[in-house]
Amino acid sequence: MGVNRSEDWGAIGLVPVDAWTASSNADLLELLGDLKSDSVVALTGGDLCRTLGGRGRAFPGGEATLVDIDVGEALVDGRLHRFVAHLVVRPSRHPGRWWMAANAAHRGRWNVAPRAHPGDGLLDVLEASLPLGDVMAAWRRLGSGVHVPHPDVRQERTAATQMSFGGSARAWLDGRPIGRIDKLSLRVQSGALRVAI
């Protein structure tokens, strides 16, 4: 199921009374291991909720927009990790190479991946190696999403990719550190989870 301009996505419906509740990306990530294929999660906060236009009003037994979202899977140095919003790889020194796989457009107050949508079957991958003089200008533009296009920011929409980081970079999944990273294989599980917003 793709998400296209001028097409409806999601549907208004009743949130099951036994639905789970998550108030952040990290909460939703923690629930992933416990969810069954027919589970619904009432999403009340976080980057994913903001990207989907949620206002934190969904609750079990209430009415909300039900949306099937994608889940990212990352094989990091032989260990499988899942994420719902972002996988971020940062250099150990600045400036350096920054890399992100985004399922959600927003990351905190930033609109870091303006074209990302959690239900389109794709991850938005951004890679940047900015000269020190350009870093501050890019940070100022992150809030409105006008940091792209930029000649030093590569942007790609993909369902799968592989990368190598040389072991010196550090990675975060939905805001939680997972340590140093060398090799990464990434793919998306399309429509793997139903949320209510």
Claim to verify: residue 136 and residue 90 sit in the same structural domain: yes
Claim to verify: residue 137 and residue 182 sit in the same structural domain: yes
Give the pLDDT mean for 118-138.
76
Claim to verify: residue 165 and residue 118 sit in the same structural domain: yes
Determine the pLDDT at residue 137.
Answer: 57
Give the residue from 27, 86, 13 showing the smallest Cα distance to 51: 86
Give the end of a domain, one of 41, 70, 99. Answer: 70
Residue 86's domain comprises: 73-189
Give the end of a domain, one of 27, 49, 70. Answer: 70
Token digits of residue 37: 């294929």
108 — pLDDT class (breaks 50, 70, 90):
confident
Claim to verify: residue 132 and residue 158 sit in the same structural domain: yes
Residue scoring higher pLDDT (2 or 114): 114
Give the end of a domain, one of 70, 90, 119. Answer: 70
**pLDDT above 50 for 5:** no
The answer to which of 4-8, 62-66, 70-74, 168-172 has the lowest mean pLDDT is 4-8
Q: pLDDT for 114-125, tens place per residue?
A: 888 899 999 999
Claim to verify: residue 39 and residue 81 sit in the same structural domain: no
User: At 166, which amino acid appears?
Assistant: G
* Number of DSSP helices (H) and strands (E) in the chain, helices first: 3, 11
Claim to verify: residue 17 and residue 32 sit in the same structural domain: yes
Give the residue from 145, 142, 118 showing the smallest Cα distance to 50: 118
Residue 6 lies in a domain: no
Token digits of residue 18: 């036994």
Give the residue from 104, 80, 79, 78 showing the smallest Cα distance to 174: 104
- Looking up tokens 């940070």 gives 139
Claim to verify: residue 27 and residue 85 sit in the same structural domain: no
DSSP string, 52-84: TT--S---TTSEEEEEEEEEEEEEETTEEEEES
Rounded distance between C-alpha atoms, residue 83 and residue 70, angstroms:
9
Claim to verify: residue 43 and residue 83 sit in the same structural domain: no
Residue 3 lies in a domain: no
Determine the pLDDT at residue 45.
Answer: 95
CATH code of the domain in which 180 resides: 2.60.200.40
- Chain-centroid distance, C-alpha 51: 9
